[in-house]
């Protein structure tokens, strides 16, 4: 027995050894988790935008709408370049490849159009569009973009108006390799001041966290669009590439003119993204129309790219949204010019490995020797210290350190040690506590205590009612208030909203930011779940209105709460994996409830309830909104607005509105007259105004189709 116990004591240290081996081999799941931590750093602490001489000329959807679909005639692109050159920009980087001659050139059309000979002669005398653009490019400062490929096709090598000088080992073996390139046509390349690769090398999850400065094309080093734009803007010719002093460790920095850029061993720079910055971009149509301030582009490095959805140059950002590819180039240039760096130094891995080994062994020793409280406290202190150190390194020094992998090793050591130490005496208690940690709603916890067999993965079909709420304009409010004050306001609001849900027997499905999702009739079946959902929603609405009035009286522009209620069949149960799972409902009814909450902003209402829910509330009073075809749906859904009780506690039907609504099914003229009369009497009524606008616009009937969420 003693030998067995001693052998078990080695298990936590074995877990640390396994963690160290995984850390050494760095499998893809660990990379994904590490990158997720680094992304979260950026979301919590984005780069503060400083006014920088970098601008994006955006070929956006409006530009395409005004000037025609892409590709534009090269004469139009030439006009764009001329406008920029006249604005005295430092350099123009084209995040576009002009790989083929312009098909709209007059000579190109001669082979397509069947025209009289004299007309053909006159067309042949007109300037070639590519030649016109080449003249504009030759005016100076233009960097063409080219795309790199790994398809094995060699293609045409880009022109090299630059030179790469190595300091130390040759940089070529360390750079991301490509075998082919798609370049612009020769007449443009010959006129250009630079040639840069537009290619990104995103992580396996598709997120662009780093932008390369140098890449490998066959046996040649080629610069990126960022590097070339910076070189041309400074009037330089050379790239000075410095590799690390220790052989075989890769690149250390790239010097471009007066700028020295620290890079990864593979020649990339980490991008520290800012939030949305409108002044960074100018729509292309405004440049062509001359509708921009002269000093907006003077002396700037201008990148011409596209945010248009149809042109598909969209990338995943660490900030959690989709961005145009040209924005990553622009933000990298901003960092270089501002000399603000985000780095993961070569010694970062050593620090993380040391934290993993020392911290994991300390946790293992304490968990085997001490009580659960002492071992948990020790582990928590170490995890907090690790997290604080990594966060401080990011915020104060721009250094990326991974606290997650050492934390996972410590957590694993703590769990294994605790299991061994408390295997017999606390087995049942630990099991219950772990079960409780997976759930938050009181009715859910009570149900699990009474039915422990339900703690298993899987679900079952049943009918439930759902409430979705969301705050209007809360993002705007966050921008106006101190973050601490905004969080306090939100916490007070959410605390009361969740309390109301629990009072009505609801189950908290999730909280996402300022939005709350509540379900009824799960896990405990509630025959009156429709009525509970409606009563709960009305109580939430009453509280929210009072809270808004209270905050606005204090000068805080707190937004209204929009609520959607729906009932339907869903799959309810535990979903996830063996480490952790979540109890929730999946099905179309959940999505529909969320869409009903969202559609309030289009209707002007605050509460929407579907007929599926209202049918189970015989005492409820509501007025019809219409048969709504929600975005992504094809079948209309009858939706109502619940009416609130008067001061005397009685809820009165809105007979005038119902009478006018009934005319929607008949003659349109009568309906218009009825709603016009109603609008004069109640200009504050959003539904009256909604139907009157529809009727005046030529719509008829009670079906309303929504193209937006």
- pLDDT-derived band of residue 438, with 50, 70 and 90 as boundaries? very low
Residue 665, in any domain of the structure: no
- pLDDT-derived band of residue 384, with 50, 70 and 90 as boundaries? very high
Give the domain-ending residue among 620, 648, 669. Answer: 620
Q: Indicate left, alpha or beta for 46 from its phi (over 0: left) and psi (-120 to 50: alpha).
A: beta
Rounded Cα gap, residues 536 and 543, in angstroms: 11
- pLDDT-derived band of residue 645, with 50, 70 and 90 as boundaries? confident
Residue 431, in any domain of the structure: no
Residue 443, in any domain of the structure: no
Nearest to 493 by CA among 527, 510, 516: 516
SS (H, E, C) 514-554: CEEEEEECCCCCCCCHHHHHHHHHHHHHHHHHHHHHHHHHC
pLDDT digits (tens, 9 = 90+) for 252-266: 999 999 999 999 999
Structure tokens, 464: 């439930």
CB-based contact 576:680 (threshold 8 Å): no
Tell me how far the alpha carbon of residue 171 is from its chain's centroid.
35
Query: Region 268-291: what's the mean pLDDT?
Result: 91
Q: Is the pLDDT of residue 370 over 80?
A: no
Does one domain contain both 370 and 305?
A: no
Does one domain contain both 307 and 210?
A: yes
Residue 697, in any domain of the structure: no
Nearest to 334 by CA among 211, 167, 442, 159: 211
Helix %, strand %, coil % of the chain (to 5): 45, 20, 30
> pLDDT: is 14 or 125 the higher one?
14
Q: What is the pLDDT of residue 458?
A: 62
Nearest to 581 by CA among 448, 431, 457: 457
Query: Region 20-48: what's the mean pLDDT?
Result: 89
Does one domain contain both 178 and 239?
A: yes
Residue 200, in any domain of the structure: yes
- To which H or E segment does residue 57 belong? strand 54-58
Q: Is the pLDDT of residue 432 over 60?
A: no
Q: Which residue do the tokens 């406008």 mark?
A: 83
Rounded Cα gap, residues 400 and 41, in angstroms: 9
Q: Is the pLDDT of residue 574 over 60?
A: yes
Q: Which residues contact 283 (CB under 8 A, 6 or more apart)?
A: 57, 58, 60, 62, 63
Does one domain contain both 366 and 479?
A: no
- pLDDT-derived band of residue 273, with 50, 70 and 90 as boundaries? very high
> pLDDT: is 102 or 213 the higher one?
213
Q: What is the pLDDT of residue 320?
A: 87
DSSP 457: S
Count the residues in the chain: 709
Q: What is the pLDDT of residue 16?
A: 85
* DSSP states of 600-613: HHHHT-SEEEEHHH
Q: What is the pLDDT of residue 433?
A: 45
Mean pLDDT rounded to a whole number for the chain: 86
Inter-CA distances, 163 with 108, 260, 327, 390, Å: 36, 16, 26, 39
Rounded Cα gap, residues 174 and 216, in angstroms: 9
Q: What is the pLDDT of residue 430?
A: 43
Does one domain contain both 220 and 84?
A: yes
What predicted TM-score, i.e. pTM, was given to this entire model? 0.57
Give the domain-ending residue among 303, 338, 373. Answer: 338
What does DSSP say about strands 142-149 and 180-182: parallel, antiparallel, or unpaired?
Answer: antiparallel
DSSP 151: S
Query: Region 24-46: what's the mean pLDDT?
Result: 90
CB-based contact 582:567 (threshold 8 Å): no
Q: Which residues contact 524 (CB under 8 A, 6 or more apart)?
A: 443, 447, 505
Q: What is the pLDDT of residue 581?
A: 64
The structural domain count of the chain equals 3
Residue 659, in any domain of the structure: no
Rounded Cα gap, residues 67 and 242, in angstroms: 45
Q: Is the pLDDT of residue 357 over 80?
A: yes
Q: 692: number of CA atoms within 13 Å, CB side? A: 17
SS (H, E, C) 358-370: HHHHHHHHHHHHC
Q: Is the pLDDT of residue 109 over 80?
A: no
* DSSP states of 227-281: HHHHHHHHT--EEEEEE-SSTTS-EEEEEETTEEEE--TTSEEE----S--GGGE
Does one domain contain both 283 and 387?
A: no
Does one domain contain both 350 and 274?
A: no
CB-based contact 489:474 (threshold 8 Å): no
Q: Is the pLDDT of residue 506 over 80?
A: yes
**What is the chain's Cα-based Rg?**
32
Does one domain contain both 334 and 352?
A: no
Q: What is the pLDDT of residue 3?
A: 38
> pLDDT: is 579 or 375 the higher one?
375
Bond from prior residue into 9 cis (ω within 30 degrees of 0)? no
Q: Is the pLDDT of residue 406 over 50?
A: yes
List the alpha helices (DSSP H) in 10-156: 11-25, 28-44, 61-67, 74-86, 106-110, 117-125, 129-138
Domain that holds residue 12: 2-46+344-425
Q: What is the pLDDT of residue 7?
A: 63
> pLDDT: is 667 or 612 the higher one?
612
pLDDT digits (tens, 9 = 90+) for 652-706: 888 899 999 999 887 778 888 989 999 999 999 999 999 999 988 888 889 999 8
Nearest to 162 by CA among 103, 216, 111, 223: 223
Rounded Cα gap, residues 261 and 254, in angstroms: 5
Q: Is the pLDDT of residue 425 over 50?
A: no
> pLDDT: is 492 or 115 the higher one?
492
Specify the 3-state DSSP secondary structure of 130: helix
Nearest to 535 by CA among 559, 518, 551, 512: 518
What does DSSP say about strands 142-149 and 322-324: parallel, antiparallel, or unpaired?
Answer: unpaired
- pLDDT-derived band of residue 112, with 50, 70 and 90 as boundaries? low
Give the domain-ending residue among 582, 605, 620. Answer: 620
Give the count of beta carbons closer than 10 Å to the beta carbon of residue 677: 13
pLDDT digits (tens, 9 = 90+) for 309-341: 877 788 899 998 899 999 999 999 999 999 999
Q: Is the pLDDT of residue 531 over 90?
A: yes
Rounded Cα gap, residues 103 and 105, in angstroms: 6
Does one domain contain both 589 and 534?
A: yes
CB-based contact 382:408 (threshold 8 Å): no
Does one domain contain both 133 and 179?
A: yes
Rounded Cα gap, residues 438 and 455, in angstroms: 10
- Which region among 42-56, 84-98, 564-578 has the lowest average model confidence (pLDDT)? 564-578
Task: List the beta bridge partners of residue 167.
Answer: 242
- Which region among 66-80, 424-438, 518-532, 550-564 has the lowest average model confidence (pLDDT)? 424-438
Q: Is the pLDDT of residue 428 over 50?
A: no
Q: What is the pLDDT of residue 700?
A: 84
- pLDDT-derived band of residue 90, with 50, 70 and 90 as boundaries? very high
- pLDDT-derived band of residue 120, with 50, 70 and 90 as boundaries? low
Residue 675, in any domain of the structure: no
Residue 497, in any domain of the structure: yes
pLDDT digits (tens, 9 = 90+) for 180-207: 899 999 999 999 999 999 999 988 888 9
Structure tokens, 101: 């001659």
CATH number, domain at 540? 3.30.70.1230
Does one domain contain both 507 and 395?
A: no
Query: Region 480-484: what's the mean pLDDT?
Result: 83
- pLDDT-derived band of residue 77, with 50, 70 and 90 as boundaries? very high
DSSP 702: S
Nearest to 194 by CA among 153, 155, 239, 151: 239
Q: Is the pLDDT of residue 405 over 80?
A: yes
CB-based contact 76:70 (threshold 8 Å): no
> pLDDT: is 573 or 381 the higher one?
381
What does DSSP say about strands 622-629 and 637-642: parallel, antiparallel, or unpaired?
Answer: antiparallel
Q: What is the pLDDT of residue 261?
A: 94
Query: Region 4-20: what's the mean pLDDT?
Result: 72
Does one domain contain both 180 and 306?
A: yes
Q: What is the pLDDT of residue 412?
A: 87
Q: What is the pLDDT of residue 2?
A: 37
- pLDDT-derived band of residue 229, with 50, 70 and 90 as boundaries? very high
> pLDDT: is 371 or 147 the higher one?
147
Give the count of beta carbons closer than 10 Å to the beta carbon of residue 655: 9
């Amino acid at each position: 027995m003693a030998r067995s116990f001693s052998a078990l004591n080695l298990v936590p240290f074995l877990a640390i050894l396994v963690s160290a081996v995984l850390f050494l081999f760095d499998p893809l799941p660990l990379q994904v988790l590490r990158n997720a931590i680094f992304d979260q750093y950026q979301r919590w602490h984005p780069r503060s935008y400083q006014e920088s001489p970098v601008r994006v000329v955006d070929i956006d959807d409006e530009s395409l709408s005004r000037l025609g679909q892409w590709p534009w005639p090269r004469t139009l692109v030439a006009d764009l370049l001329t406008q920029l050159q006249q604005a005295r920009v430092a350099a123009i980087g084209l995040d576009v490849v002009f790989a083929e001659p312009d098909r709209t050139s007059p000579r190109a059309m001669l082979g397509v159009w069947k025209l009289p000979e004299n007309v053909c002669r006159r067309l042949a005398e007109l300037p070639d569009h590519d030649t016109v653009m080449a003249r504009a490019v030759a005016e100076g400062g233009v960097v063409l973009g080219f795309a790199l490929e790994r398809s094995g096709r060699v293609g045409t090598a880009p022109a090299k108006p630059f030179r790469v000088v190595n300091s130390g080992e040759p940089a070529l073996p360390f750079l991301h390799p490509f075998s082919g390139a798609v370049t612009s046509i020769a007449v443009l390349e010959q006129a250009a001041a630079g040639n840069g690769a537009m290619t990104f090398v995103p992580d396996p999850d598709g997120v662009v966290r780093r932008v390369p400065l140098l890449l490998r094309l066959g046996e040649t080093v080629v610069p990126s669009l960022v590097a070339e734009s910076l070189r041309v803007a400074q009037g330089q010719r050379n790239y000075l590439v410095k590799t690390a002093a220790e052989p075989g460790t890769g690149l250390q920095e790239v010097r471009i003119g007066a700028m020295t850029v620290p890079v990864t061993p593979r020649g990339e720079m980490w991008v520290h993204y800012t939030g949305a910055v409108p002044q960074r971009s100018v729509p292309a149509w405004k440049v062509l129309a001359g509708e921009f301030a002269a000093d907006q582009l003077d002396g700037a490095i201008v990148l011409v790219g596209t945010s248009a959805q149809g042109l598909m140059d969209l990338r995943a950002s660490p900030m959690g949204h989709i961005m145009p590819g040209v924005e990553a180039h622009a933000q990298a240039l901003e960092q270089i010019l501002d000399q603000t760096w985000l780095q993961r130094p070569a010694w970062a891995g050593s620090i993380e490995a040391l934290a993993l080994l020392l911290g994991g062994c300390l946790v293992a020793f304490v968990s085997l020797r001490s009580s659960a409280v002492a071992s948990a406290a020790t582990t928590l202190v170490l995890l907090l210290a690790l997290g604080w150190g990594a966060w401080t390194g990011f915020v104060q020094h721009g250094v990326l350190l991974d606290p997650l992998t050492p934390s996972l090793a410590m957590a694993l050591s703590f769990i294994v040690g605790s299991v061994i130490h408390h295997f017999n005496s606390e087995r049942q208690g630990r099991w219950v506590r772990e079960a409780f940690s997976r759930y938050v709603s009181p009715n859910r916890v009570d149900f699990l205590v009474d039915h422990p067999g339900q703690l298993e993965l899987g679900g079952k079909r049943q009918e439930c009612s759902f409430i979705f709420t969301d705050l209007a304009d809360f993002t705007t409010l966050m921008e106006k208030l101190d973050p601490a004050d905004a969080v306090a306001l939100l916490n007070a609001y959410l605390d009361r909203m969740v309390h109301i849900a629990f009072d009505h027997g609801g189950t908290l499905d999730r909280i996402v930011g300022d939005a709350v999702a509540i379900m009824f009739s799960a896990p405990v079946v509630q025959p009156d779940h429709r009525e509970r959902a409606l009563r709960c929603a009305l109580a939430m609405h009453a509280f929210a209105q009072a809270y808004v009035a209270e905050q606005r009286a204090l000068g805080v522009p707190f937004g209204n709460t929009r609520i959607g209620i729906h009932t339907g069949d869903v799959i309810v149960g535990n979903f996830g994996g063996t480490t952790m799972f979540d109890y929730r409902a999946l099905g179309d009814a959940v999505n529909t409830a969320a869409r009903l909450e969202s559609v309030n902003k289009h209707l002007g209402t605050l509460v929407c309830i579907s007929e599926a829910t209202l049918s189970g509330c015989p005492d409820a009073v509501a007025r019809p909104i219409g048969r709504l075809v929600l975005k992504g749906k094809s079948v209309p859904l009858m939706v109502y607005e619940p009416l609130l009780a008067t001061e005397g506690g009685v809820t009165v039907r809105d007979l005038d509105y119902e009478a006018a609504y009934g005319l929607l099914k008949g003659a349109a003229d009568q309906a218009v007259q009825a709603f016009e009369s109603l609008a004069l009497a109640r200009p504050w009524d959003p539904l009256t105004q909604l139907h009157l606008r529809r009727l005046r616009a030529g719509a008829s009937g009670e079906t309303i189709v929504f193209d937006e969420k």
